[in-house]
Amino acid sequence: MFKIGARPILRRIYFPRVLVHGKSLLRCSSLVATPPKRQLKAEAYNLPKESIPESKDVHNVQIPLEFRDFELTKVIHGQTDLKIGITDRARDKLVDIANKDNNPDSALRIQVESGGCHGFQYNLDLTSLPEALAGDEDLVVFQRSDSPRATVIFDDSSLEILQDSKIDFTKELIGASFKVVDSPYTSTSCGCGASFDFDFEKLEQAKAEKA
């Protein structure tokens, strides 16, 4: 069927010559209407325009898991460019302790001291943030941005050694406890994880790169 108003083009169709009893019959022809050819506009040959991606909301961008704890752990007191990550398990345990003690200022203080079978050891104690700051205003305080009750306190020297580490809460056969994990500058540690040695050369190299 043709659209109304479209002018058909007549085309003559020839049929082949046929022999019947040795006589050649005349060829027949017929006029058949064919639809008009559609004229393509110049725009039809243009390449499709490249679609411009919509701007993304940076708040909805997924953070890789290995960086997530660091991105969610912020400095709320003191000045430092060093990073510490508080894991979800450590956050949940610190919140649970603060709720049970009815103490919103509850915090975990972490110090590095000499001693242990590998030369250094962690000293982790629960304390009150105002009480700790009253004794030393120069402490650096980290807190999870998604929970004001997940707070960790460091002195400068301990933070320098433990920078880029994570604070986790683990449950093992020997018991459950807070631990420093994934420390890039720890070279050896004992089985219980309380005593360790660290790579001074690697630590100095990291300091030089950040300077």
**Homologous superfamily of the 67-210 domain (CATH):** HesB-like domain (2.60.300.12)
Q: Compute the C-alpha angle 69/186/119, nearest 5°.
A: 130
Distance separating alpha carbons of residues 55 and 204, to the nearest angstrom? 41
Amino acid 120: pLDDT: 82
pLDDT in tens, 3-17: 445 555 555 544 455
The structural domains of the chain, with segments of one domain joined by +, span 9-35, 67-210
What's the pTM? 0.67
Radius of gyration of the chain (CA): 39
pLDDT in tens, 110-157: 999 887 666 788 899 999 999 999 999 999 999 999 999 999 999 999
Distance separating alpha carbons of residues 210 and 3, to the nearest angstrom? 75
Out of 19-23, 37-41, 84-88, the most confident range is: 84-88
Query: Up-side HSE of residue 168: CA atoms within 13 Å toward CB?
Result: 11
Q: How does strand 120-128 pair with strand 195-198?
A: antiparallel
Distance separating alpha carbons of residues 203 and 12, to the nearest angstrom? 91
Amino acid 127: pLDDT: 96
* CB contact at 8 A, 166 and 180: yes
